[in-house]
Amino acid sequence: MATIFHNPRCSKSRQALAYLRERGIEPEVVAYLEAPPSVEKLKELLDAAGLSPHDAIRVREAEYRKLGLSKDTPAEDLLAAMVVHPRLIERPIVVTEKGVRIARPTEILDEII
């Protein structure tokens, strides 16, 4: 059983989905841009991956700059921004029974499949 928080317009996200399928894994696909995770769920995912909110935020997105976010922004504020502006969430996030990873590079998924 696996879940991928997926953006079909993102090449890395498409690669991760294909990587899972090539290995016989048909994951639950969560279109997180349409249905963003809650702050609690996002925190749970990042904690399981061993990442801080800033480790999992897309610093090159326009919203990051517009919102005045930085490494010094409190974690709670980063999480809230990521939920309101889900494009800020680094992708793709893959969840299995063995753990959670942001599939960058895609091969990191071998650790959890």
How much of the chain is in helix, strand and coil states, percent to nearest 5? 45, 15, 40
Task: Name the active-site residue from 3, 10, 87, 99.
Answer: 10
Residue 98 CA to residue 3 CA, distance in Å, equals 12
- The answer to whether 10 is a known catalytic residue is yes
* Kind and range of the H or E run holding 94: strand 93-96
Which residues does the annotation mark as catalytic?
10
